[in-house]
Amino acid sequence: MKIAIIGAGALGLYYGALLQKGGQDVHFLLRRDYDALTRHGLQVFSINGDFSLPQLKGYRTAAEIGPADLVLVGLKTFANQQLRELITPLLHETTQILTLQNGLGNEEALADLFGSQRVLGGVAFLCSNRGEPGTVHHLGAGRIIIGEHQPHDRQRLERLATTFTAAGVECRISDDLKRARWEKLVWNIPFNGLCALLEQSVDRLLTVPACRTLVRELMLEVIAAGNAQGLAKPIPDSYADGMLEFTDNMGVYKPSMQIDREEGRQLEIEAIFRIPLSYGARQGIAMPRVAMLATLLEQATPGAAATPR
């Protein structure tokens, strides 16, 4: 299978590396790491065992990659205005598009541009960071949940899950992609938001009882909003406790939004905060703590405010 990776950050590099190591024909659209990766390959430092790819196929433009069987989208969501430009050269008649981006609204954006029949969504529970150019650090987890944006062909999901599993990625299929996205937000909203705002890693955040309580309160707001969206099965409040326990075992970990803020990059506030807030509001679900956190992040980060919708 020819796979194009669009958004070769920590997520795109890690999964792309495993897919290439597993025998797939993987092509990376690269920007800042182009020279390092095309000259020296990629080094992956992983809790599951380090490995290197001495050579990988890297390109500066999507047109150089050409049509692919699968486009894996790992772009930060604030770059979604580039989707048409980046993905159009990669399409043939049966190309599938899998977005592993954070937040809500990504499948809808892709479906509007390329048709819902092409679009698959995925939720990645992955702890990874980029290191020096040409390196990526896998610090924990890594499983993926995938589903169709609109029911079309479940067999393609099964084939894709088999491809990921053969590459060493735990991958399962969900018939309720919406629920999987809200489950991820239960973790993403409090930890990405608070860690970025306070510039503290998850372990430091959770050692303060008042902060731990706030994290759980934020999680319960997200669960309530998610359960108002017509999920096939509600998310229980106990899911928040499971996420706290999961995070306790991470050790010292900086979520991606914290790293982005520390390095002066734009934050994914719209997809991770503002769109979920709007979905909650439509169903009459108040999320005051989530709204305050989003506002504080926007005020603390010049230029971070969401574009009016």
Domains of the chain by residue range: 2-175, 178-300
> Closest by alpha carbon to 102, among 223, 268, 213?
268
CATH number of 2-175: 3.40.50.720
- Residue 121, pLDDT above cutoff 90: yes
- Residue 302, pLDDT above cutoff 90: no
pLDDT at site 188: 96
pLDDT digits (tens, 9 = 90+) for 77-97: 999 999 999 999 999 999 999
- Residue 309, pLDDT above cutoff 50: no
pLDDT digits (tens, 9 = 90+) for 220-255: 999 999 999 999 999 999 999 999 999 998 889 999
Superfamily for domain range 178-300: N-(1-d-carboxylethyl)-l-norvaline Dehydrogenase; domain 2 (1.10.1040.10)
- Active-site residue among 76, 178, 184, 254? 184
Mean pLDDT, residues 113-137 taken together: 94
Catalytic site includes residue 178: no
The residue to which tokens 């770059």 are assigned:
79
pLDDT at site 303: 60
> At a CB cut-off of 8 Å and minimum separation 6, what does 103 contact?
77, 181, 185, 188, 268, 270, 271, 272, 275, 276
Mean pLDDT rounded to a whole number for the chain: 94
pLDDT at site 307: 40
* CA 98/CA 144 separation, integer angstroms: 11
> At a CB cut-off of 8 Å and minimum separation 6, what does 149 contact?
107, 108, 110, 111, 116, 119, 120, 121, 177
What does pTM read for this prediction? 0.92
